Amino acid sequence: MQSTRTRTRTRRLPAILAVLTGVVAALFLAAGTGALYAEHQKDDGWFTTTDERFSTDARALATESLDMDLDGFDAGLAGKARLQVTSAAGGPVFVGIAPTQDVERYLAGTEHATLTHLDTSPFQATTETVPGDRAPAEPAAPDIWSASTSGTGTQSLEWDIEDGEWSAVVMNPDASRGVDVRASAGTDASFLQPLALGLLGGALVLTLVAVGLVALGGRIRVRP
C-alpha cells in the first residue's frame, strides 16, 4: 500500500510543478502583452498630457520639487521627460529644469508662482504665489539648468530623467512679469519595450519548462 502511494506521488510531482510553472508563464505572458500594448499607445513615441493654459502675474512659474527616485533603476531605461510650452501671446518663452535647491536660490526674493497641485480630469491647476520684490537675472544667464530652451513658437524641452529633486521653470526670457503659456508634459517610457520583450521571453522559457515537466511525468516508472 505504501509503495503504491509513493509511485502516485512521484508521478504527480512533475505534473504539479508543470501546473505551477504554467501559471507563472501565463502571468508573464499577460504582463508582457500589456507592456507591449502600452508601448504601441504612444503618440509619436511619447505619452503626453493634454495641452493646457497656465498663467501668473508673477515673474516665473515653477513646479514643486519633483522627487525622482530611480532606486537603482538603470537611468538609460528610465527614459526622457518632455515639456512643450508655447506663449499664449505668441511671444518668446524660456523653459528650464534644474535641481530644486538651485531653482530656489535663483528665485529667492523674487515673486513667483509654484504649481502645487494638478488635476487632469477635469483640468485644474493650483498654484501658490511666493511674494518678493527682487528682479532676477535673465533665466538663460545662470549655469544651473540640466536642460533648457528659449524662443518663440512651441519650445520643446527634453530631459534625461535622473535621480534627485528637480523643478521645472517657465519664464519670459527677459524675466519680466506676467507668464501666460500653454503647456503639456510627456514621457517616452523607454523601459516598456525591453520590459515587454523580457516578460514574453520569460513566458516562453517557462512554457517550455512546463512542457518538459509534463513529458517527464509521463516517463517516470517507480518500482515497488
Q: Quick one: 126 and 69 in the same domain?
A: yes
Q: Quick one: 15 and 96 in the same domain?
A: no
pLDDT of residue 168: 94
Q: What is the pLDDT of residues 176-188, one digit of tens each?
A: 999 999 998 877 7
Highest mean pLDDT among 34-43, 120-129, 178-187: 178-187
pLDDT of residue 219: 59
Q: Quick one: 181 and 71 in the same domain?
A: yes
Q: Is the pLDDT of residue 9 over 60?
A: no
Q: Residue 20's domain spans which residues?
A: 2-40+193-219
Give the residue, 132 or 22, on which the prediction is more confident: 132
Q: What is the pLDDT of residues 88-99, one digit of tens each?
A: 988 999 999 999
DSSP state of 43: B
**Which amino acid belongs to residue 208?**
L
Q: Quick one: 118 and 201 in the same domain?
A: no
Query: Does the model's pTM come out above 0.85?
Result: no
Average predicted confidence (pLDDT) for the chain: 82
Q: Quick one: 14 and 78 in the same domain?
A: no
Picking from 129, 105, 119, 106, the residue whose alpha carbon sits closest to that of residue 55 is 129
% of the chain at pLDDT higher than 90: 37
Cell of 207: 512554457
Q: Which of 67-76, 93-102, 196-205 has the lowest mean pLDDT?
A: 67-76
**Burial environment of residue 130 by CB neighbours within 10 A (0 to 12, 13 to 18, 19 or more):** middle
Cβ atoms of 85 and 186 within 8 Å: the answer is no
- How many angstroms separate the Cα of 35 from the Cα of each of 28, 31, 82, 140, 197? 10, 6, 21, 39, 9
For residue 12, the SS3 value is helix
145 within some domain: yes
Q: What is the pLDDT of residues 144-188, one digit of tens each?
A: 999 999 999 999 999 888 888 999 999 999 999 999 999 988 777
224 within some domain: no
Cβ atoms of 113 and 130 within 8 Å: the answer is yes
What is the number of domains present in the chain? Answer: 2
pLDDT of residue 123: 66
**Which amino acid belongs to residue 117?**
H
Q: Quick one: 169 and 77 in the same domain?
A: yes
61 within some domain: yes
Q: Quick one: 197 and 180 in the same domain?
A: no
